Amino acid sequence: MDSAALTLALAYTLDLGLGDPRWLPHPVRGLGWTIQRGERLLRERIENEAWAGWLLVGGILLGTFGLVEGLLWGAGRISPWLACGVEIGLLYACLSTKDLAVESRPVYRALKAGDLPQARAKVGLIVGRDTGSLSAQEVVRATVETIGESAMDGIIAPLFYAAIGGVPLACLYKAVNTLDSMVGYRSTRYLRFGRAAARIDSWMNFIPARITAFLIAAGAQMVGFSGRESFRVFRRDAWSRGENSWIPEAALGGALGVRLGGINFYQGKGVEAPRLGDPRRPMDPEVIPEAIRIMVACSLLGFLAALIVRLGIGRLL
C-alpha cells in the first residue's frame, strides 16, 4: 500500500474510533475564527460587499493551501514519519462519520423521552435553521436532512478530494465548505458578501453530491432498506435541481420512505425547499437511528471506493 493510501486508511480509522473530541484542538475551529476576523476587517475596509467576499474566499483558500503545504514540507524536512503523521492528522480533521452519529443520537434520545425542548436544543447544535418552535416531526426532519447533507460534505467529499488530490486538496475543500457554512447564506447580510463562497462550494460539491447519492442508495440496500427506492427518489426529485445538498437528502429520504424538505426559518425568515421523497411512513423518532445506519454504510462504501481510487492512482504514478 502506498503512503497516500495508508494515510487515507489511518485517518478514516481514527475518525471512526475517536470522532471529534471537544478537548482536542480542531483546525476547523481555528479556520472559523480566521473567517470571522477576515469578514470583519474586509467589511470595514471595502465598501463593495461582493468584492470583499471574493477577497475573503481567495485569502482563506490561498492561506489554507499554503499552510498545509508548508506544514507538510517542514515536517518532511524533519522526518518522513512526522510528515506522514501530519497528513493523517489533517485528513482525520476533515472527516466526521462518528461525530455526525454522536451529535444526532441525543436528538433521538430527547424525542424518545418526550422532551421536545431538549430535542430542539440538541438539533439546534447541528443545523443552521431556527429550531425554537419546531414540532417533533420537524425536529426529526431537520436531523435527517443534516445527516444526508453532512454525509456529503463531512465524509464523501473530503474522501473524494483526498483520493484524487491528496490531503492538501481535501483541506482546501474543507476550507470552502467552512466558508459556505459561515457566510454562504441567502440572508440580507450575506446575499452579496457570501456569493463567492456559495458559488465555489457549489462547484466543488457537484460531483461529490451525486456520488453520495449513489452510495446512500447502495448503503441503504446493505442495511435492509430499499436502494431502488432511494435511487428512484433522488433521480426524480433532486438530480437536476440547483442545490447539491438536496441530492443526498433525497436519496436518504427515499431509502427511509419519508418526505423531506418544506419551509425552514432562518433568523425568522421562511425559506422553502422542495419536497423530497414520498411520505410512506410517519416522521417518528425511529427514523433518526435508521438514517444513522444508512449514513455509516454510505461512509464505509465511500472509504473503500476512495481507497481503491487512491491505490489505482498510486500504481499509475
Task: Specify burial of residue 109 (Cβ count, 10 A radius: 0-12, 13-18, 19+).
Answer: middle
Across the range 260-279, mean pLDDT stands at: 83
Residues 6+ apart with CB under 8 A from 41: none
What's phi and psi for 95, nearest 5 deg?
A: -105, 155
Residue with cell 463593495: 48
User: Which residue would you say has higher pLDDT here, 264 or 186?
Assistant: 264
Q: Which of the residue ranges 24-28, 170-174, 295-299 would you say has the lowest mean pLDDT?
A: 24-28
pLDDT at 1 over 90: no
- Residue 82 pLDDT: 94
- Residue 263 pLDDT: 83
Residues 6+ apart with CB under 8 A from 95: 11, 12, 15, 154, 155, 158, 159
pLDDT at 233 over 90: yes
pLDDT at 160 over 80: yes
- Residue 27 pLDDT: 83
99-155 pLDDT per residue, tens? 999 999 999 999 999 999 999 999 999 888 888 889 999 999 999 999 999 999 999
Across the range 87-105, mean pLDDT stands at: 94
pLDDT classification of 210: cutoffs 50, 70, 90: very high
18-69 pLDDT per residue, tens? 888 776 777 888 888 999 999 999 998 898 989 999 999 999 999 999 999 9
Would you say 306 and 162 are in contact if contact means Cβ atoms under 8 Å apart? Answer: yes
Residues 6+ apart with CB under 8 A from 60: 31, 34, 35, 38, 175, 179
pLDDT at 280 over 90: yes
The cell numbers describing 62, all together, are 490561498
pLDDT at 186 over 80: no
The cell numbers describing 72, all together, are 507538510
- Residue 270 pLDDT: 79
Residues above pLDDT 70, as percent of the chain: 98
Would you say 248 and 213 are in contact if contact means Cβ atoms under 8 Å apart? Answer: yes
The cell numbers describing 191, all together, are 446575499
DSSP the chain: --HHHHHHHHHHHHHHHH---TTS--HHHHHHHHHHHHHHHHHHH-S-HHHHHHHHHHHHHHHHHHHHHHHHHHHHHH-HHHHHHHHHHHHHHH--HHHHHHHHHHHHHHHHTT-HHHHHHHHTTT-SS--TT--HHHHHHHHHHHHHHHHIIIIIHHHHHHHHHHHHHHHHHHHHHHHHHHH---STTTTTTTHHHHHHHHHHHHHHHHHHHHHHHHHHHHTTS-HHHHHHHHHHHTTTSS-TTHHHHHHHHHHHT--EEEEEEETTEEEEEEEES--SS---TTHHHHHHHHHHHHHHHHHHHHHHHHHHHHHH-
pLDDT at 229 over 90: yes
pLDDT at 317 over 70: no
Radius of gyration of the chain from its Cα atoms, rounded to whole angstroms: 19
pLDDT at 265 over 90: no
pLDDT at 2 over 80: no
> Among residues 299, 307, 245, 302, which one has the least CA distance to residue 274?
245
Mean pLDDT score of the chain, rounded to an integer?
Answer: 91
User: Which residue would you say has higher pLDDT here, 183 or 157?
Assistant: 157
d(CA 97, CA 106): 16
Across the range 5-15, mean pLDDT stands at: 93
CA angle (222, 225, 228) in 5-degree steps: 90
CA angle (31, 92, 159) in 5-degree steps: 100
> Among residues 256, 259, 252, which one has the least CA distance to residue 295?
252
